[in-house]
Structures are given as structure tokens and as C-alpha cells.
Amino acid sequence: MPHYVPPSHGPADLAQSGPPPAIDGKPWEPINAGQPWSLRVEGPNSFRFERRPGDRWAKDVSDNNSWQGQTKERTELDDPVRHGARDFTVSFSMMVEPGPPLGAPYVILGQMHRGGGGQDASRGAQPFSQQLLPRDVFRVVTAGGDDNRGQTVFTDRSFQRGRWYNFNYRIHEDPAQGAVIGYRDGAKIIDYHGPVGFNDPDGVYFRFGIYGPASTTPIAVHYRDVHVGSQAGNSDVLRPWMRSRAAGSASSPQSPGNDRGRDAD
């Protein structure tokens, strides 16, 4: 496994220009505002993300990216692989730090992202996402098939900041007969069977962290013991910028946004 030396501005903080952290031994790409607080590696497969008002990824700024007229702010880790597989296991522990009320309509705390191509894959809801709403309402949303808006498959109106939750998801991506099975702290919370995903030719990929429209307040979230598994076969494709990084190319890696088409999220 490569050894990553953190930049000098913090004990383990990674700015946008810093080298990527790893999940299960594979480097993932930070996409954030490059601030000292944006991302901190806290251990193997464990991270702290913080987003403050005005924290915009450079590519969002240069591309003037917005969603329904709303400026996007984020700090996320971006999966290096576009998964052509259909069956996934995703597990992690997550804790949202106590803090001021959410100053935005919603924030996404992890998502399975459409890979680009297909039926306008950069627009609308993603196949799977965790979201936090005002008043700390937590929900899980899935979308697929002809449903580009998404539907809520789990809601918790008693979600507690400062508490660790253990999540384990099984996701079958199929625009007609998909499934999301979810457990939290060992109890089944989701048993959904229906459309999941959009049959995108470029597959799907995962992101962990904080994403959403511009907020008037900061928010921080911890993830630990993050694992993503798939029945990969030969259908998982390493993105071009990751191939160049893996080969030790001296040239700058391609921006992870340039090879997936339009990127609304």
C-alpha cells in the first residue's frame, strides 16, 4: 500500500492538492475547497469531513456548476472505479457532530452516483443517497427506471447528532427490479424492492462526505470503517486519471470530473 504524506498545514489534513487517502487499500480522490478543515484522515478507512459556508470545489467554480439555480458546496471522497457490477455491499459507521441547525434545504451524506452517459445521467436523483434535512431529519432516498426524482425509503425524525450509527447496505442496481436492504445498528430499517439505477453504460461510483446546496451554517461528519464491495468481474473500469496515477505518470492526472460528462451532484 502506498504511504501518503499529509500536507504541512495539519497533522493529517488533506487539501485538494494533496495526495488521495485510501479505502480498502485503494486511493480515493478528495473533491473539496482545499481548506485545512475540509478532510482529515483519522485512521484506516476513517475520515472527518467538514463543510463551511462558501466551501466550493474548484471544478464546480470553473464549470459554474449549480443545481436548480443553487450553488453547490461540498467536501467528498470520490470512488476511483466506475462499477459495472450490479450488486454492492456498503458498510460504515457515521456520526454527525453537534452544531448549529442545518442552514440549507438538505445535505447529502454519501451517495451511489450515476456514472455519466445514459439517460441524462448527471441530472435528477442518484440511485442511492443518505440525506440530512432541517431539524435533523435523516432519510435514505433511491431512484431508478423512469423515476428521476427519487423516493424516500427510510426516514428517522429522531436522528441524533453526536451519536455513532453503524450502517450496512446491500444494493442491487436494476432499473426495473432492484433492491436496497439496509441495517442500522443491527436492525433492519430498509427492505425496498423496485427500480434502482438507470442502466448507465458507464456504471456507477460512490462518494462519501458532505454535498449539497449552499448553506449558511457549517456541518461536520465522521466516517469510520468504510468498506465498499461489489461483484466486479471484468465490468469495473478504472478511470483514466486513476490509471495514470497508478502507473506513476509524471503528468498531472485528469480531473475526475472530465471523464464522466455533466456532473450535477
CATH of the domain at 126: 2.60.120.200
Tell me the range of 97-101, 119-123, 175-179 where mean pLDDT is highest.
97-101
Residue 242 has pLDDT above 50, yes or no: no
Task: Say which residues have a Cβ less than 8 Å from residue 33's Cβ, sequence separation at least 6.
Answer: 16, 54, 55, 56, 57, 58, 73, 75
- Which tops the pLDDT comparison, 106 or 5? 106
Task: Say which residues have a Cβ less than 8 Å from residue 221's Cβ, sequence separation at least 6.
Answer: 48, 49, 94, 95, 96, 97, 109, 209, 210
Residue 229: per-residue pLDDT: 87
Residue 123: per-residue pLDDT: 54
Residue 175 has pLDDT above 70, yes or no: yes
Q: How many domains, in total, are found in the chain?
A: 1
* pTM of the predicted model as reported, rounded to 2 decimal places: 0.79
Residue 114: per-residue pLDDT: 84
Residue 119 has pLDDT above 60, yes or no: no
Tell me, yes or no, whether 265 lies in a domain: no
Q: Are 21 and 41 in contact (CB under 8 A)?
A: yes
Give the whole-number percent of the chain exceeding pLDDT 70. Answer: 73
Residue 204 belongs to what domain range? 73-235
Tell me, yes or no, whether 32 lies in a domain: no
Tell me, yes or no, whether 248 lies in a domain: no
